[in-house]
Every structure is written in structure tokens, then in C-alpha cells.
Amino acid sequence: MADRSSLEEGFQPTNETQGLLHHRTGPWKVHCVKIAIILIIFAGIIFVFVGIASIFESNDPTNPHLVIVRNGAVSAEQEDCSKIGVQMLKEGGSAVDAAIAAEICVGTINAFSAGIGGGGFMIIRDSNGTAEVIDFRETAPAAANKTMFKDKPILAKYGGLSVGIPGEVRGIEIAHQKYGKLPWKRLFEPSIKLSRDGFKVPAELAIKMKWYEKALLETPNLASIYAPNGKLLGEGDLLKRTNFSKTLELIAENGSEVFYRGSIAKSIIKTIQATGGIMTLEDLSNFEPVVSKPIYGYYHGRKVIMTLNVPSGGPVLLSMLNILEGFQLTRGELNGLNLHRIIETLKFGFALRTEMGDPPFTNNTERIEEIMTKDYAAKIRKNISDSITFEPSYYNPLYDVSEDHGTTHISTVDKNNQAVALSSTVNLIWGSQVMDLETGILLNDEMDDFSIPGVPNYFGLYPSPYNFIIPRKKPLSSCAPAIVENNGEFEMAIGGSGGSRILSSVLQVLLNVYDFEQDLLTSIHTPRVHHQLIPNEITAETGYSKELLDELKGKNHSIKIIEYKLGVSEIQAVMRLPNGLINAASDYRKHGIAAGY
């Protein structure tokens, strides 16, 4: 919702103006003018409120939160976390400070999405225009091997063997050392208080707890947090993470060293090994994030900055943007033909994704660079028929890849236009379902993102050799945080959660903004489609017209309708407008609310 104080600042008469009015009109007239100005301000605010509310006439009126501010904004999946990030900005912190504080908060409240037991990627665009990526994606332990899950694939999803080496703490510490302005300890204080004193269970957490009630109740360490009296907590109940608050205090005081080599490390490893894992203290102590230059491409003249090459989803997203650019969707409408072209592009994109893997282990760098070029996109575009879709083999996939679900994204921008796009994950919802009771840390199950030789996935496809397990290798990820520049200036930071649907969701929001000329809030909240090649069907959120869906069916598409509010993928974004104001929005599919000042 619009920030009233920020809007009013733009209408306040200066002291010089007030003096001039007094000199020319006298005190009585000045008083009348002041009243008129107040009325104009009030009318302007009403206009903004009404204008924003009208956006939601065809959507969900329960969450009309488009943030409109002047200085800085944070878009996180949880309202308290967005506000915590903004508080850091108000105290003079950078966009990096805000992103870190908000991320720690998300890991505290929505532990099913992300947390210090996981990892991810962060793009940082500094106020001077330079950009770099911090890759703190989890890696395989030294004792891992490509056949370790062949006989029992379920162990890649649950238990200690599924845990990849967590990278988040060391990743955010490097970011803070390079770009932080506030003390490291300050970034942890709000979440320490939340976990120690307790917080009311918000709507999204309550939903996820209900979905996973059986697992939470049957796992003692999780039950001690989410069902402390033997009954699952519900929305509005007080949830405390006392041991986790002590862990955050240790990290706040001692930095990442205590997590990777100290008491926290010892406790984590003890729990992992007790639940069947092979990770060692040496694995933890040897983990190092990768800091590098981002990859980038151009879409209608705008520079799109992505995370480093694979294992993120950046190359695939850039390839899809290149394909669609040639169709000249700009100023068009989302009709059946345009939606068909988007879906066909998704199918080709997900076929290309099967060729992705951690670059130091795959030796296919030239191929990855090729698929990000405009020339390659032109070749793909020629194979897209406007009249019909095809079977998966037409798109030349290599094999299958896994996907992640328990993910979060945070977008921030500060008053100096430093911007951050941070995506973090514990992989599946509630990760490995292994919580170290002593530290309160919920651990990831990132090993499930690797492919298992000889074991077909749910859809019967065999695994990709580019994504086999190798010691200290990173599994493929769908995370696709991005920052957009316009004429060399910051314009947007965007990213999302939802496994393989991250790619299709980020793509469609970008198209909504830059081709279909929607405002940021509408772009995020408009219904979306998804197609990942296998199974060969569109999943379409409720909200599309029957006529449009029938047109797709006429092109031989199979369509599965999913409830819009199911929240299978969610986007968070901040955007600087040409007039200097910032818009920020968080997807209400996950009950998200952004904040700013």
C-alpha cells in the first residue's frame, strides 16, 4: 500500500515558498492556501488509494499491497521480514544489509522455505553500476558418489544422507564484509528476538504445517517446535525457537567461524551422522562460496543481469528471453497466439535445461554460452509453429533434472540504488526434515537435486549425466534471481520460489512489465502458465478465459487447471520508476507483503 508519509513529502511547500505566499497575500490568504494544499494532498492520497484498489478488481482484494516509496524497499515473502529489512535501510544500512536481515528472518519464521541450513545465490548491483554474484549453493560432501542413492532414492530426499554442505552463513558474511554498512550483529537482532520471544504463526506457515502435519508430528525434533504440546500449532498461535535464538546469537557474536568450525559445526555433524549422513567437520570447514562476475543479456535494449552461469537457472532464462524478443510481443495483448508462443518457448527452455550442470565438472561451457546468444534463439524460433505444439522429443531434451520446492527470494534496493536479488533454498519443503535439536537448525536435502544414474524420475525419464553426483559438486538449481538496468541505471530486482516454476514465473512477470506494459503489482498477480516439457501439459492458474484456453486446446495443448491461491510459485520484486519512486510487491500467492520508506 502507498506510504502516506512519503507521498506527503512530495507536496510540502518549502519555507521559501511559504514566505513568498505570506508576502504577496497576507496571513489570511496564506491560511486559505495552506488549507487548499492540505485538501490537494488528501485528494491525491485518495486518488492513489483508489487507483491501487482498482488494480485488484479481477484479482484477490484481500492483499492490495503495492508499496510506493521514495528511498528504499524490501520485498520478502513474509511481511515482518520485509519490515525488518526496511528498518535496516532506515538505520543507514545498505541494500545488502536489508537483504541479509530479511533472509535471516525468513529462515526464522518460514523455515520450510529457507534458512541457515541451506544455500543459494545473491546478485549485488552496487550504486556505481558494478555487479557481482555470490554463489553459496550447497555442495556434495567429499565422501559422496554418483551411485549413493541408486538402491534407495528416497534417502536423497529425507534424512542425514540427503544433506548438502550448507552455504548460507558464509555467503551472507562475505556479502556483508564487502557491502555492509551496519554492524554484522545488528542484522541478527530482530530474528533473535523473534525466535526467543516467539512469533504468531502466520497464514502461509500454518498452511504448510497442515500439509505436512504427519511428518512434523512423527519427527520428534520438529514436533518439539511445531507441536510443543503434542498438537500442531495453528495460525495465530505463539511459536518459539529458543535454541535457534541462541544459535543466531553465537553467529552474530562470532561470525561464520562458529558455524563451520566451532560448536555449531560439531552439533550439526553429530546430528547428520546420527541420521545416516556422511558429512564431516572437514566438509563444513572447507566450504567456500564462489564470488564472480554475473552473466547478462539484453531484452528490448534493457540489460538483464543474471547469476553466474549454471548451476543456477540464469542461462535458460536468458535464452527464453532471446527467443521471445523476436516475436515482438511489445504493446500486444496476452492472446492465444502470444500465450502459445510463450509456452513453446518454455518447452524449448526446459529441453535446454537438461544440458545444464556445475561448470567445473561438466566441460560444456561453450554449449552453455551458445544457447544464450541471439543467433541460437533465432534458430529455435524458426522451429516454433504458430499452429500446433509437439511431443517432448521434438524439443530435443537430453534427460531429466530434479527440481526444488522449499525456496525463498528477497529483492531490495536502497536510496543509493544499490540493489540485491537473493534466492535461497533448503530444497524440498522442510528440507531433509532433519532438525538439529541443540542448535535448532533445519537442514537442507539438496542432494536430491542431483540426478541418480539408472533411476528414472516420476515421469519415466532417465537422468542427465551433467547432473550426476561428484564430491564437492553443486546440483542444478532453478533459482533465477535477476537485476534489470535501463540506460545504465537500476530498474528492477526480481526472483522467486517454486522449483522449476521459478523460471516460467520470472519470465512471465518480466514479459508482463516490459511487453504487456502492466504495473509491477499487476504483473506479479496476473495468472500464470507453466510447462516444463515433461509431462507434456500446461498447468494454468485459474483466471484465464475459456476462449483463450480453448484456443490453446485447438493447437493440441493439454491443459491442467490449478487453483490460483495454491501458491505453486511466488515472485518478489522491487522497481525504480522513471519518476524516481520505487514500487515493491510480494506475491500474495504466498501471503507476501513488501515494505519500504
Q: Which residues are annotated as a binding site?
A: 137, 425-427, 449, 477-478, 499
The Cα 273–Cα 129 span in angstroms is: 45
Contact 438, 243 (CB under 8 A): yes
The Cα 5–Cα 211 span in angstroms is: 40
Angstrom CA distances, 428 to 167, 168, 333, stand at: 16, 16, 36
Strand 302-306 with 295-299, pairing? antiparallel
What residues does 400 pair with on adjacent strands? Answer: 463
The Cα 474–Cα 310 span in angstroms is: 9
DSSP 158: S
Out of 407, 408, 412, 522, pick the active-site residue. 407
Residue 494, SS3 per DSSP: strand
Residue carrying the nine cell digits 493439454: 558
The Cα 416–Cα 303 span in angstroms is: 19
Grid coordinates belonging to 414? 536502497
Contact 585, 67 (CB under 8 A): yes
Is 404 exposed, middle or buried, given 0-12, 13-18 or 19+ CB atoms closer than 10 A? Answer: buried
The Cα 146–Cα 156 span in angstroms is: 11
DSSP 596: E
Active site residue 407: yes
Residue 69, SS3 per DSSP: strand
Grid coordinates belonging to 415? 536510496
The amino acid that residue 12 corresponds to is Q
Cα–chain center distance at 274: 32
Residue carrying the nine cell digits 528490448: 300
| SS3 sequence of 317-363 | HHHHHHHHHCCCCCCCCCCHHHHHHHHHHHHHHHHHHCCCCCHHHHC
What residues does 298 pair with on adjacent strands? Answer: 303
The amino acid that residue 237 corresponds to is D
Contact 253, 261 (CB under 8 A): no
Contacts 24+ apart (CB under 8 A), 385-390: 385/344, 386/337, 386/340, 386/341, 387/555, 388/555, 388/556, 389/340, 389/343, 389/344, 389/347, 389/555, 389/556, 389/557
- Residues sharing a CB contact under 8 Å with residue 107, sequence separation 6 or more, in sequence order: 113, 114, 115, 116, 118, 168, 191, 424
Annotated binding-site positions for L-glutamate: 137, 425-427, 449, 477-478, 499
Residue carrying the nine cell digits 552474530: 252
Return the H-helix or E-strand segment holding 48.
helix 15-54
Residues identified as active-site: 407
